A = this chain, B = another copy of it.
Amino acid sequence: MKIENIKPADIEKRSFEIISETLGDKKLDPRYELIIKRCIHTSADFEYADSMYFSDGVADRIKEAIRNGATIVTDTRMAQSGINKKRIEANGGEVLCFIGDEDVAAEAKSRGLTRSYVSMEKAAHLGKPVIFAIGNAPTALLSICSLVAEGKLDPVAVVGVPVGFVNVVESKEQLIDSGIPAIVARGRKGGSNIAAAIINAIQYQL
């Protein structure tokens, strides 16, 4: 097979052209088109053209929060690594992940919960506007929903795209039903790469 000789800067542009060509006549909501296409770009999986849920106005809400220096909290180091930090930090924000913290591990063990669950409780104590980017743990979504229901957390929005087979679909539907501003990839698919892609797609529009 022939390798196309394409300049580094043009590879992403050409990729998005191929995605648009492949989508053909399929209509995407123009408010979310760049987010959906970046999910496809990062996974080569066109199912994201059909599986994504956006609560009303959520993309503008996240954009505005990033502009005002909101903190982004992820459930995995992978999602944290995948989020482009330059623009977020330039606006006064930061990208945090508490999953590896010793206090989180100790508390999770003593209470018989996942570290993901407890790491969201830790985020609730930050005392500043938080956007959650959850690509792995359904228990992180359940933790966020409980904290909001108890009045202990009021997130800017939740990117809820865990991947997997146990409680994943259910946790995403619970997030949607909660009324928390959210972007969700319905079904089993998602991942830390998808969580990061969604945050990046939004901040690249700033």
Tell me the A residues contacting B by CB distance below 8 Å: 1-4, 6-8, 11, 14-15, 18-19, 41-45, 76-78, 80-82, 108, 112-115, 139, 142, 163-171, 173-174, 187-193, 196
* Residue numbers in B under 8 Å from A193 (CB-CB): 78, 191-193
* Residue numbers in B under 8 Å from A192 (CB-CB): 78, 82, 193
Least CB separation from A14: chain B residue: B166
Q: Are A1 and B163 touching (Cβ within 8 A)?
A: no
Least CB separation from A114: chain B residue: B8
Q: Are A142 and B3 touching (Cβ within 8 A)?
A: yes
Count of chain copies:
2
Question: How far, in whole Å, are A193 and B193 apart by their CA atoms in the complex?
Answer: 7
* Residue numbers in B under 8 Å from A191 (CB-CB): 42-43, 191, 193
CB distance from A195 to the nearest CB of B (A): 11
Question: How far, in whole Å, are A192 and B78 apart by their CA atoms in the complex?
Answer: 9
A45's contact among B7, B18, B45, B171, by CB below 8 Å, is which?
B45
Q: Are B165 and A15 touching (Cβ within 8 A)?
A: yes
Q: Which of A14, A43, A163 has the most CB of B within 10 A?
A: A43
A165's contact among B18, B113, B166, B169, by CB below 8 Å, is which?
B18
Question: How far, in whole Å, are A33 and B174 apart by their CA atoms in the complex?
Answer: 33
Q: Are B189 and A43 touching (Cβ within 8 A)?
A: yes
Question: How far, in whole Å, are A159 and B66 apart by their CA atoms in the complex?
Answer: 36
